[in-house]
Amino acid sequence: MASTMQAAVLHGREDIRIEQVPVPSAAPGELIVRVGAALTCGTDLKVFRRGYHARMIVPPALFGHELAGTVVEAGPGISEFKAGDRVVALNSAPCGQCYFCLRSQENLCDDLLFNNGAYAEFIRIPARIVEKNTLHIPDHVPFEHAALTEPLACAVHGFVDSQARAGDTVAVIGGGPLGLMILHVAALSGCEAIALVRHPGQAEAAKQLGAAHVVQTRTIRQAIKQTRTLTPNNRGVDIAIEAVGVPEAWEEAIELVRKGGIVNFFGGPPADSRVSLDTNRIHYNDITMRATFHHTPAICRRSLELIASGRFQAGAFITGHAHLYELNRVFEKLMNRNGEIKTVIVP
């Protein structure tokens, strides 16, 4: 193995540089993985725009967090993995000991350990992630599909939290990667899935991924009106999942659901956002509101199983391939909302 490698280093706002950095080596309990595929992601795009992420990454730092690859070095004390194993290493792992972990809310762990560095030839996987959140990839699953495990885990978590039953009408606001994943998971679970999207490419993808109805308009207000007409007596949907992350969409998601319905505020708006909700409607219609953040090790395993089963259309989420040196260009394209879902970055 060479002593240096190429890696993307985040230096600040819209400032990613491909640099020669030392190849990491494995301390006890750690793995070094040769990256087979790394995927672009909405969170990485936000970080690219902002130049940092308070919980996950402070520049200058290695960048990227959705990956799959091959173990090239296993540190002392590891028996579960060996060189040559194909693995997906998740981007975080909980401590297992804090108040939240002991209550099976590991996504809220007080000491959630994050890992970045997927946009590189090799990545070091910290011991805690090796132990709790690194999974063997079945032989028939390509790296680029396995790398979808992390975002899919977030989507599955959001869907599970929304307590849908087969036959329920589930409206998903937003046609970005996670909105489309939640929609697909809802359709696979036997729900009548309705996609509320803006762009023609998103509408096409939603149809392919099992949407029973696609409502494509420029304004959320118009979309809600149209969506309610798709339900008996205009009563509204059973469940509405907001996957845009803008306050306006949070406010209007409340208007989508029937009496006794559930709203999941899945999309994360910018810090210091505030919303104004119709309290009369929430109270007298007995509406349940909740939000979902991140994932847990159990949900990550469930997500990889769903990908491996072949039921999940992993290929539909991969809309481009690029080399590491093209990363800046890829993010600039994604900022223009050009209909790309996920681009595979091949080191």
Domain boundary among 244, 260, 291: 291
Instruction: Indicate if 261 and 327 belong to the same structural domain.
Output: no
Structural domains counted in the chain: 2
CATH assignment of the domain containing 245: 3.40.50.720
Instruction: Indicate if 250 and 328 belong to the same structural domain.
Output: no
Q: Tell whether 158 is covered by a domain.
A: no
Instruction: Indicate if 187 and 273 belong to the same structural domain.
Output: yes
Instruction: Indicate if 338 and 248 belong to the same structural domain.
Output: no
Instruction: Indicate if 70 and 132 belong to the same structural domain.
Output: yes
Tallying the residues shown for the chain, one arrives at 347
Instruction: Indicate if 131 and 212 belong to the same structural domain.
Output: no
Domain boundary among 275, 291, 307: 291
Domain boundary among 255, 276, 291: 291
Q: What are the pLDDT digits (tens) for 232-288?
A: 999 999 999 999 999 999 998 999 999 999 999 999 888 899 999 999 999 999 999
The set of residues, in sequence order, having a beta carbon less than 8 Å from that of 101 and lying 6+ positions away, is 94, 95, 109
pLDDT of res. 332: 87
pLDDT of res. 338: 64
- Residue range 302-329: mean pLDDT, rounded: 96
Rounded to the nearest integer, the mean pLDDT of the chain is 95
Instruction: Indicate if 178 and 141 belong to the same structural domain.
Output: no
Q: What is the pTM of this model?
A: 0.96
Give the separation between CA 284 and CA 260, rounded to whole angstroms.
Answer: 9
Q: Tell whether 157 is covered by a domain.
A: no
Instruction: Indicate if 283 and 322 belong to the same structural domain.
Output: no
User: How far is residue 51 from each of residues 43, 48, 56, 302, 334, measured CA to CA in Å?
Assistant: 11, 5, 12, 32, 16
In the chain, the largest separation of any two C-alpha atoms, in whole Å, equals: 67
Helix (H, G, I), strand (E, B) or coil at 199: coil
Give the separation between CA 314 and CA 312, rounded to whole angstroms.
Answer: 6
Q: Tell whether 167 is covered by a domain.
A: yes
Residue 84: CB atoms within 10 A of its CB come to 8
Instruction: Indicate if 285 and 300 belong to the same structural domain.
Output: no
Q: Tell whether 112 is covered by a domain.
A: yes
* 32 Rama sector, left if φ>0, alpha if ψ -120 to 50, beta otherwise: beta
Q: Which domain holds residue 259?
A: 163-291
pLDDT band (50, 70, 90) for residue 52? low
Question: Has residue 190 got a pLDDT over 70?
Answer: yes
Pairing status of strand 288-291 against strand 67-74: unpaired
pLDDT of res. 183: 98
Helix (H, G, I), strand (E, B) or coil at 305: helix
Give, as one character, the DSSP assignment of residue 210. T
Percent of residues, the chain, with pLDDT higher than 90: 84
pLDDT band (50, 70, 90) for residue 53? confident
pLDDT band (50, 70, 90) for residue 76? very high
Q: Tell whether 141 is covered by a domain.
A: yes
CATH assignment of the domain containing 109: 3.90.180.10
Q: Tell whether 316 is covered by a domain.
A: yes
Instruction: Indicate if 15 and 102 belong to the same structural domain.
Output: yes
Give the separation between CA 25 and CA 32, rounded to whole angstroms.
Answer: 7
Instruction: Indicate if 326 and 285 belong to the same structural domain.
Output: no
Instruction: Indicate if 128 and 213 belong to the same structural domain.
Output: no
